[in-house]
Structure 1
Amino acid sequence: MLGAEIAVRRPGGIASLSICNSPASMQLWVEGAAELRAQLPADVQAALTRHEAAGTVEDPEYVAATQVFYERHVCRVVPMPADFVASEAQMEAEPTVYHTMNGPNEFHVIGSLRDWSVIDRLHRVDVPTFVVAGEHDEATPTTWQPFVEQIPDARHHVFPGASHCTHLEQPEEFRRVVGAFLADHDAQPTG
């Protein structure tokens, strides 16, 4: 999201843009999350809805239901990689930024970014762009499709079998695919 915001401003000196597992708008993100939630077991969906309505998103039942979503669409490695666990622990230890900007988790977006969108400005991106996501990613194709459709000559790649944390789930393949794109555009800054 930050990369897209920078690229639409055309500051110069940017050789390329990589959009990794990111939405073009939070509305699309929330809509995609709702579709994925609808595929969860009924009891998990009910727990999520009940606790969100009651404002009890720290209840252990809600946290457990959130974990079901995360295991399907955020990181499919079992057990969760140490890097992911450490990042999550840091966020929980000091949740101010994440909770203020996003909300309590990846799919209940009630923070200051809830209305964020870059879609209407994507035509300004004038550097080679590569969009990647996982097959089971919470960043559903609908959320990142505007990048591909509105940025001239944008390319994309979907990692089969992966979810949101493609870099942790398939690190070698992620480095190979993204690294090849970066190498193709290294030392060719615009502006």
Structure 2
Amino acid sequence: TEIVRRKPYCVLLLDEIEKAHPDTFNLLLQILDDGQLTDAKGRKVNFKNTIIIMTSNIGSPHLLDGVTAEGVITEGARAAVMAELRREFRPEFLNRVDDVVLFKPLSRSEIKTIIELLVIDLRKRLVDRHIDLELTDAARDFIAKTAYDPVYGARPLKRYLQHQLETKIGRALLAGTIGEGMTVTVGVDAGGLTVATG
């Protein structure tokens, strides 16, 4: 409550709310109902200007299977997710939630966009050494196919790039095979990602 007390105009993200302790829901009921919460020191903390976003993985298997080729969530999938939410959360809690937004799994092009953003971040870190980084289309496709898991979303992409690409580049830097002014080209072969200089 201290953060909200100091900065009442904020966004509060509660990730994977279904894993929260049951007492948390009692506190949330008070916040969602009254717009305030009394903290341990007896102070009333105003939440009326706080946007609360809660995420959940409840029903995600229905969303993985319930998306049309055009990327639209089917009514059947939507109904199945809502049914699971009603089984998991008390009605008095759900009735205080303004809206439930369902997200479809990422498309192949969205995955490639995320990969590109992660590569741009890596490029920025290499610019101090005057090293450029290029990925072949085959490498992008390989990363998208190998590292993306619809169940876990895009998080595994970042870990994969850290373990499989950044580690290789780091070792090559330490070995001296990659140096200042070089362009590093990331490709793919039967063993996975390859790093070559040019």
Instruction: State the TM-score, normalizing by the size of structure 2.
Output: 0.25
Instruction: State the TM-score, normalizing by the size of structure 1.
Output: 0.25
The structure whose RCO (Cα within 8 Å, separation 6+) is larger is 1
More strand as a share of residues: 2
